[in-house]
Homo-oligomer: A and B are copies of this chain.
Amino acid sequence: MNYPSNIIKRTKQAVSYGNRGMDLEHCLNESNVFYEEENRALIYKKPTPIGVVDVHYSSRGKVIDKAYFKSPSTLDYNGLYRGKYIEFEAKETKHGTSFPLSNIHPHQIRHIQKVLDHGGIVFLVVKIQSNVYLLDGQVFLDFIQSSKRQSIPYSYFLEKGHKIVEKINPPLDYLSVVDKIYFGGML
């Protein structure tokens, strides 16, 4: 078919059927709302810490006039599931066939070790090659300790990660994977 030159033909983006247009963070936030409404878990994204420089007071309360984002020393999400402490970081690798370790700050890596030491559940949720994987915190640390690579190859997620199924509701049913790994004796 010939298109007139003044009409731009939109190319279709590859999208996952269930959650078109939703990025990883949005999917996880929606899932957490679903889990809370279903009385299954209490898991929240922590607000990004900010440093407030200037404020003024208006009739509707304190208004921030200047602030900057601080880099977090813990992970994105934490909460309570089946009586256990749970914490995880979510990262999306849109292009590329490996997950750059630079995505996780050194103090976050130390934090993962601390959560393990104190008996918490800790993992990464990584979207790579249009798939979403849960990678256990200890398995992540094992990679760092045993490899000199600056990125985790996709094959490591295939081998050691656990695929999270995308659904309508919750958009990302990661707690079903948590059930299997941390409550079902798979690890």
**Contacts from A to B (Cβ < 8 Å):** 36, 39, 41-42, 44, 46-50, 60-69, 74, 78-85, 87, 111, 114-115, 117-120
Q: Are A85 and B82 CB-contacts (below 8 A) given A41-B118, A69-B61, A114-B42?
A: no
Partner pick for A78 among B36, B47, B78, CB 8 A cutoff = B78
Q: How far is the CB of A108 from chain B (nearest CB, A)?
A: 13
Q: Are A68 and B61 CB-contacts (below 8 A) given A46-B47, A85-B83, A118-B41?
A: yes
Partner pick for A64 among B50, B74, B114, CB 8 A cutoff = B50
Q: What is the bound-complex CA distance between A117 and B39, given in angstroms?
A: 9
Q: What is the bound-complex CA distance between A80 and B86, given in angstroms?
A: 9
Q: What is the bound-complex CA distance between A29 and B120, given in angstroms?
A: 21
Q: What are the 6 closest A-B residue pairs judged by CB atoms, nearest first?
A: A83-B119, A64-B67, A47-B49, A85-B85, A80-B85, A47-B47
A-B contact pairs, 23 of them (CB 8 A): A36-B114, A39-B114, A42-B111, A42-B114, A42-B115, A42-B118, A42-B120, A46-B46, A47-B48, A50-B50, A60-B68, A62-B68, A63-B66, A64-B66, A64-B67, A65-B65, A65-B66, A79-B85, A80-B85, A80-B87, A80-B115, A80-B118, A83-B118
Q: What is the bound-complex CA distance between A79 and B50, given in angstroms?
A: 20
Q: Are A119 and B80 in contact (CB under 8 A)?
A: yes
Q: What is the bound-complex CA distance between A66 and B69, given in angstroms?
A: 13
